[in-house]
């Protein structure tokens, strides 16, 4: 009786999890009865539970040697081998158990587990089916059958198997969660969401089910619901790095970039060596222009995972934003080497090549990105915009690309257009909305702020729809000048279109066109009855839903009509824009070339505006003015050397070409103190840079082309009364600029008077410009009212 008591006490301790006490009782029994096979087995099971696999195997094998006909002993041996990562030995043990008890569903199920662990999925399926043959209501075997079907990517069969398991045992949250996984893998996202919600409804609350629900909702485009699901997963499991990372991805897609940064940092707080979170963090920091931090994060991701293409892609983007163009190209190329079908890396490559002035390469990179991912609307817009810089593309070819863009991206959204219920009173106060991501310290602001400040608020209620990543002091100036400020950073295009329609806008003005982060797909939905494009650059959007484009008679002569434009051209009486330098600088110096004994020409336009035909003309000018210099704005990189070599091939010594890098606005403007005559690029003339030069007292010589973008110089100079500086042929350009270089007294006179001349002209008369634009808006509005009345 004493041994029987000891055995019962040992079993009691074992079942209660008091393993040390159980082991002592088992050892005591074995000391007295070394041939007790069942105690040897139980002691082996306990050793397995204590983590000593070697002892467990030894003891269970001893038990089997004493009692070779007991199937449970082989099953226990299989469990130890399987847990120790030896699936082949586990399978052998399970088969020996089944040979002794062939109708045991548990043994067939265990055999299936061992086969699955060993990668023999077909045999595992057969084993689970044998378990079900033995016991049709064996929900565990149905569930495991679903697992192996998932391993084999047999999603439909997995759905059936999980469904059977749930029918037999409906209150298992894990079953519903995995059924959701099968539905999601089978692209049945609605059914997946329903399954995850059933899993969540069962106790205890499941962080994993919330996490998977977030994934499915994200894939369905339900971003706000996905955000909530990930946050609930994190609340249940605060160390869930993957949930933080995925939350960051959703927030990034919602354009809630600062919040995305916080989420990625949360993931890294849970797991510091998480390359995906580091790469994602670097990508968002790059978008927010925290560029040094972005580069560090991407390089840390690469150090952890050297074959990670997305980390190289994000690094390429951050380096491009930093102006480290050679390094950006290298990073993007490495990303493509690691993943040839990586459209975002090609897009980054296109950005860097564009800034290097390599427009053929930039356009080719963008086209390759679009071959890989045609729905990348922003890349397609980058391509459209880049065409304006290339001398090979004229108005006709650009118009054809606009039509292609419209067919691809805008036409499918026509179904969202519907009639407008705006009050058709032609003379009432109008609601005018301006849409832009660039209400900040950016070139656009030099024209928007003076307009906003002079709008007649008694007749026009001005709304700004701003998707600004990093607001700054200039953002606040915009905000203070409008009737209503709408921060729409987190709204997608469809949501923003509905908001604008709900706000009752009468006239909606696009300020970005095909430039970065445009909202053209909002306009494609036609949320306002009258839609207008203005300012981004002279040209067209190609968007049929935009009714008008603002221009003037210099950029678009009336005899051109609407040549190549999808919108109707509205020509303002003076210039199409009005300028404010947005800075206070002391008067420009009056000294210049007479002190240094040479003339310095300059172009502080973006480097992408330079091209070989243009530089050939400039080389002729430099040759015509001996010892003259040329000052250009360019980031560091090989493209500087390439430009010098190009000019050297045309007979201009490299020492005559000088560069300055990107700088603060004040330092950039001070560079004009070193320039005697500014040169306007072609085919994309300067606008802000031309006005900056003139305001700093530097005359600008322009060469006029046959597109609106190539006639901006003519427009600005003519409005200022300096049309003689707008030339029509390369020969005239060289003659006028060289003649001006030889007239130092004329240069000195302009240096001292151009600012005052500008301030007295329509180019800086904000009230006059606002009146002209408002008059155009009123005509547009009345035409819409009349058209509605006559229908």
In the Cβ-directed half-sphere of 248, how many Cα atoms lie within 13 Å? Answer: 26
pLDDT of 790 above 50: no
Per-residue pLDDT at 2: 58
Q: What pLDDT, on a 0 to 100 scale, did the predictor assign at position 597?
A: 85
Q: Do residues 522 and 493 make contact, with C-beta atoms less than 8 angstroms apart?
A: yes
pLDDT of residue 594: 61
CB 764 within 8 A of CB 579: yes
Cα–Cα dist 429/509, whole Å: 17
What is the rounded distance in angstroms from the CA atom of residue 454 to the CA atom of residue 764?
12
Q: Strand, coil or helix: what is 715?
A: helix
Asked if pLDDT for residue 1 goes beyond 80, the answer is no
Euclidean distance between the first and the last CA atom of the chain, given in angstroms as a whole number? 105
Hey, which CATH number is domain 417-572, 3.30.499.10, 3.40.50.720, 3.40.50.11380, 3.40.190.10?
Answer: 3.40.50.11380
Residue 789 has pLDDT above 60, yes or no: no
Contact between 536 and 512 (Cβ < 8 Å): yes
CA–CA dist 443, 771 (Å, integer) = 22
Q: What pLDDT does residue 591 have?
A: 61
CA dist 446 and 712 (Å) reads 16
Question: Is the peptide bond prior to 683 cis by the omega test (within 30 degrees of 0)?
Answer: yes
Distance CA(615)–CA(608), nearest Å, equals 12
- The first and second tokens of residue 374, run together, are 């045609």
The residue-averaged pLDDT of 189-209 equals 96
Q: What is the mean pLDDT of residues 581-592?
A: 79
All CATH 3.40.50.2000 domain ranges in the chain, comma separated? 593-764
> Is the predicted pLDDT of residue 284 greater than 80, yes or no?
yes
CATH superfamily of the domain spanning 593-764: Glycogen Phosphorylase B; (3.40.50.2000)
Average of pLDDT values for 26-41?
Answer: 84
> How many CB atoms lie under 10 A from the CB of residue 582?
14
Instruction: Calculate the CA dihedral of residues 326, 330, 333, 335 and round it to 10 degrees.
Output: -130
Please, how many CA atoms are within 13 Å of residue 187, restricted to the half-sphere of its CB? 0
* CA neighbor of 531 nearest in space, from 515, 511, 545, 513: 545
Query: Which residue spans of the chain are classified as CATH 3.40.50.11380?
Result: 417-572
pLDDT band at 200 (very low <50, low <70, confident <90, very high): very high
Whole-angstrom Cα distance, residue 762 to residue 787? 33
* 41 pLDDT above the threshold of 90: no
Tens of pLDDT, residues 715-772: 999 999 999 999 999 999 999 999 999 999 999 999 989 999 999 999 999 999 999 9
Q: pLDDT digit string (tens) for 393-414?
A: 999 999 999 999 999 999 999 9
Q: 563 with 679: CB under 8 angstroms?
A: no
Per-residue pLDDT tens over the stretch 415-449: 999 999 999 999 999 999 999 999 999 999 999 99
Token readout for 353 is: 């090549």
Q: How many CB atoms lie within 10 A of CB 667?
A: 11
pLDDT of residue 39: 83
Q: Which of 223, 235, 225 is nearest to 197 (CA)?
A: 225
374-395 average pLDDT score = 96
Q: Rounded to 10 degrees, what is the CA torsion of 539, 544, 546, 549? A: 30
pLDDT in tens, 691-716: 999 999 999 999 999 999 999 999 99
- pLDDT tens, 490-549? 888 999 999 999 999 999 999 999 999 999 999 999 999 999 999 999 999 999 999 999
Cis upstream peptide for 218 (omega within 30°): no
Question: What does the chain come to in residues?
Answer: 791
- Asked if the model's pLDDT at residue 569 lies above 50, the reply is yes
d(CA 169, CA 171): 6
Q: Per-residue pLDDT for 791 more than 60?
A: no
How many beta carbons lie within 10 A of that of residue 414, not counting itself?
Answer: 12
User: What are the residue ranges of helices labelled H in 462-579?
Assistant: 473-481, 493-503, 520-523
Cα–Cα distance measured from residue 781 to residue 427, given in angstroms and rounded to the nearest whole number: 9
Q: Tell me the residue ranges of DSSP E strands in 318-459.
A: 430-436
- Tell me if 769 sits within 8 A of 577, measured CB to CB: yes
Q: Exposed, middle or buried, 293 (CB in 10 Å: 0-12/13-18/19+)?
A: middle
pLDDT in tens, 296-336: 999 999 999 999 999 999 999 999 999 999 999 999 999 99
Q: Let me know the angle formed at the C-alpha of 370 by 635 and 326, rounded to the nearest 5 degrees.
A: 20
Pair of tokens at residue 270: 């849970």
Q: What is the pLDDT of residue 202?
A: 96
Asked if residue 204 has a cis previous peptide bond (ω within 30° of 0), the answer is: yes
User: What is the C-alpha radius of gyration for the chain, rounded to an integer number of angstroms?
Assistant: 36
390 vs 73: which has the higher pLDDT: 390
Task: For the chain, give the mean pLDDT.
Answer: 95
Secondary-structure percent of the chain, ordered helix, strand, coil, rounded to 5: 60, 5, 30
State the pLDDT at residue 46: 83
């Amino acid at each position: 009786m004493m041994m029987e008591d000891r055995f019962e006490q040992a079993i009691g301790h074992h079942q209660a999890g008091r393993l040390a006490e159980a082991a002592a009782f088992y050892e005591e029994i074995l000391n007295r009865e070394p041939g007790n096979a069942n105690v040897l087995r139980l002691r082996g099971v306990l050793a397995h539970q204590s983590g000593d696999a070697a002892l467990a195997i030894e003891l269970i094998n001893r038990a089997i040697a004493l009692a070779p006909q007991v199937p449970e002993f082989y099953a226990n041996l299989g469990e130890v081998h399987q847990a120790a990562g030896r699936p082949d030995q586990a399978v052998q043990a399970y088969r020996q158990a089944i040979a002794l008890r062939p109708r045991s569903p548990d043994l067939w199920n265990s055999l299936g587990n061992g086969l699955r662990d060993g990668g023999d999925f077909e045999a595992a399926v057969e084993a689970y089916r044998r378990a079900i043959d033995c016991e049709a209501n064996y929900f565990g075997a149905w569930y495991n059958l679903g697992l192996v079907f998932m391993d084999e990517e047999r999603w439909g069969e997995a759905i059936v198997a999980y469904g059977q398991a749930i029918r037999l045992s409906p209150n298992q949250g894990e079953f519903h969660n995995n059924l959701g996984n099968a539905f999601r893998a089978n692209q049945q996202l609605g059914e997946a969401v329903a399954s995850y919600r059933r899993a969540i409804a069962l106790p205890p609350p499941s962080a994993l089910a919330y996490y998977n629900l977030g994934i499915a909702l994200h894939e369905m485009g339900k971003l706000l619901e996905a955000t909530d699901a990930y946050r609930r997963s994190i609340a249940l499991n605060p160390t869930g790095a993957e949930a933080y990372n995925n939350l960051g991805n959703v927030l990034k897609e919602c354009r809630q970039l600062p919040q995305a940064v916080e989420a990625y940092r949360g993931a890294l707080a849970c797991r510091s060596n998480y390359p995906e979170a580091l790469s994602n963090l670097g990508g968002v920091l790059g978008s927010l222009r925290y560029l040094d931090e972005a580069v560090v994060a991407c390089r840390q991701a690469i150090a952890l995972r050297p074959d990670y293409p997305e980390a190289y892609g994000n690094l390429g983007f951050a380096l491009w934003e930093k102006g480290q163009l050679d390094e950006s190209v290298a990073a993007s190329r490495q990303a493509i080497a690691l993943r040839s079908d990586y459209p975002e890396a090609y897009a980054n490559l296109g950005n860097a090549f564009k800034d290097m002035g390599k427009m053929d390469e930039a356009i080719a990179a963008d086209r390759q990105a679009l071959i890989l991912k045609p729905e990348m609307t922003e890349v397609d817009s980058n391509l459209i915009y880049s065409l304006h810089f290339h001398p090979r593309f004229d108005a006709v070819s650009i118009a054809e690309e606009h039509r292609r863009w419209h067919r691809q991206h805008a036409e499918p959204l026509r179904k969202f257009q519907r009639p407008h219920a705006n009050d058709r009173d032609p003379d009432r106060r109008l609601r005018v909305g301006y849409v832009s991501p660039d209400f900040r310290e950016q070139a656009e602001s030099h024209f928007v702020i003076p307009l906003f400040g002079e709008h007649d608020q008694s007749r026009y209620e001005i709304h700004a729809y701003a998707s600004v990543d990093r607001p700054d002091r200039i953002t606040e100036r915009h905000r203070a000048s409008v009737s209503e400020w709408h921060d729409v950073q987190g709204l997608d295009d469809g949501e923003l279109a509905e908001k604008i329609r709900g706000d009752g806008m009468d006239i909606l003005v696009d300020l970005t066109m095909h430039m970065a982060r445009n909202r053209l797909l909002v306009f494609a939905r036609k949320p306002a009855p009258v839609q207008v494009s203005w300012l981004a650059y002279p040209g067209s959007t190609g968007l049929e839903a935009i009714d008008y484009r603002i221009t003037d008679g210099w950029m678009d002569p009336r005899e051109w009509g609407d040549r190549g434009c999808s919108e109707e051209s509205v020509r303002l009486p003076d210039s199409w824009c009005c300028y404010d330098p947005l800075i206070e600088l002391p008067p420009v110096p009056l000294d210049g070339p007479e002190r240094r004994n040479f003339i310095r020409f300059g172009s502080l336009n973006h480097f992408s505006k330079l091209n070989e035909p243009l530089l050939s003309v400039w080389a002729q000018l430099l040759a015509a003015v001996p010892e003259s210099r040329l000052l250009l704005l360019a980031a560091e990189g090989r493209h500087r050397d390439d430009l010098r070599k190009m000019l050297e091939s045309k007979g201009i010594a490299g020492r005559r070409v000088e560069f300055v890098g990107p700088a603060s606005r004040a330092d950039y403007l001070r560079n004009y103190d070193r320039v005697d005559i500014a040169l306007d690029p072609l085919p994309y003339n300067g606008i802000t840079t031309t006005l900056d030069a003139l305001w700093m007292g530097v005359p600008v010589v322009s060469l006029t082309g046959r597109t609106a973008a190539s006639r901006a110089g003519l427009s600005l100079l003519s409005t200022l009364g300096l049309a003689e500086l707008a030339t029509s042929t390369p020969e005239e350009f060289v003659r006028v600029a060289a003649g001006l270089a030889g007239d130092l007294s004329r240069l000195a006179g302009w240096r001292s008077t151009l600012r005052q001349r500008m301030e007295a002209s329509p180019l800086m008369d904000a009230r006059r410009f606002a009146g002209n634009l408002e008059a155009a808006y009123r005509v547009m509005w009345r035409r819409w009212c009349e058209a509605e009345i006559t229908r």
